[in-house]
Amino acid sequence: MPLVRITQHDVRTPEQSRQMADIVQEVMLELFDAPPGDRYQIVEALPVGSIIAEDTGLGIERSDGVVIVHVTQQGRSTEQKTAIYAALAERLAAAGLVRPEDLIVSVVHNDREDWSFGHGRAQFLTGEL
């Protein structure tokens, strides 16, 4: 059950942002084994200059088209994580949405007790999920 935050500069149309979110969801379903029907995404566009993303000494030249995909998840393997990094870069570039140099992906782990899907209950712990 990944929770995905897609943060970008406000340089894309709403349609392009939705297409980007759809591609991210496809990757979550195919490579992260996200259950069908589980789509939790936050897509935000900030004014140009609001994202400061240096190259970490890698010589990467970023543009105002920078996108940060932050995935909160449970129990994915190293192989799954590296697979989504590659798939996201490839698919978003192929769609003409994000240059590979402008894509930053961060995956963080949390546990079943770290989720409530409503009604103030921890559905993973109560057995509702």
Catalytic residue positions, numbered: 2
C-beta separation of 64 from 48 below 8 A:
yes
Residues in the chain: 129
For residue 24, give the 3-state DSSP assignment.
helix
User: What region, left, alpha or beta, does residue 66 occupy, with left being phi > 0 and alpha being psi -120 to 50 degrees?
Assistant: beta
